[in-house]
Amino acid sequence: MTVSEEKFTRQRLLEVQTLTPTLFTLRTTRDPGFRFTAGQFARLGVRKPSGSIVWRAYSMVSAPHDEFLDFFSIVVPDGEFTSELSRLEPGDELLIDKQAFGFLTLDRFPDGRDLWLLATGTGLAPFLSILQDFEVWQRFERIVLVYSARTGSELAYQQLIRELPEREYLEGLGSKLTYLPVVTRERVPGALSGRITALLESGELERAADLKLTPEHSRIMLCGNPQMIEDTRALLKTRDLNLALTRRPGQVAVENYW
């Protein structure tokens, strides 16, 4: 076995579900030794016919205690990874790094009362993992999940989001969650309309959540489109909501693996 092969395990594709022409989910087996913290990501590898391996980073959607691994992906036109993945069927092999990565985890915040999770597109993935872990429900009094997509059909995992607060192990804690879907390119009943940044600037996001963003109480996680992350960080900074760093406590955590 070579050094490179020691860094990953060979897993099996269990299921691929197409949500829209550009979005799909996949489920794989999980190595018993694979450990991760909710919010982290792993590199998935697909072996090409030539024998070379294409790697891409994906946040886990599944909970740290699940026996399988779930991932949420966008179809990249002519993309090297998704082109190879589209050829695979349940039972085929996928490679998964033995080590999980990423710092979009609750330990970024030593304190805080309210947790805001702001996602666009497949950036929803780590937040679903966090919401399926009991720690977040214990730590925070309010949890606001803001999920933005271009169209209503691209709002994925709606059944899971609806069912989460009703899970037995939460024992009534599910009422802490406020879910705010956002759609940018069409009007959808029950969803906010416009970009997350515009909703922040106008105050509509806070009104919809019935909760104020404050440096004292708010802790905010951002994941998704890099431009959204950059613009939202700049907006939050004007309100004294700053990036949480190892050497400096803050109120904002982001994930960039584009």
Alpha-carbon distance of 82 to 77, in angstroms, equals: 8
pTM, entire model: 0.95
Give the bridge partners for 107, in sequence order. Answer: none
Tell me the pLDDT tens digit for each residue of 27-63.
Answer: 999 999 999 999 999 999 999 889 999 999 999 999 9
Tell me the pLDDT tens digit for each residue of 145-173.
Answer: 999 999 999 999 999 999 999 999 999 99
Q: For 15, phi and psi rounded to 5 degrees?
A: -160, 140
Q: What letter does residue 215 receive in the DSSP assignment?
A: T
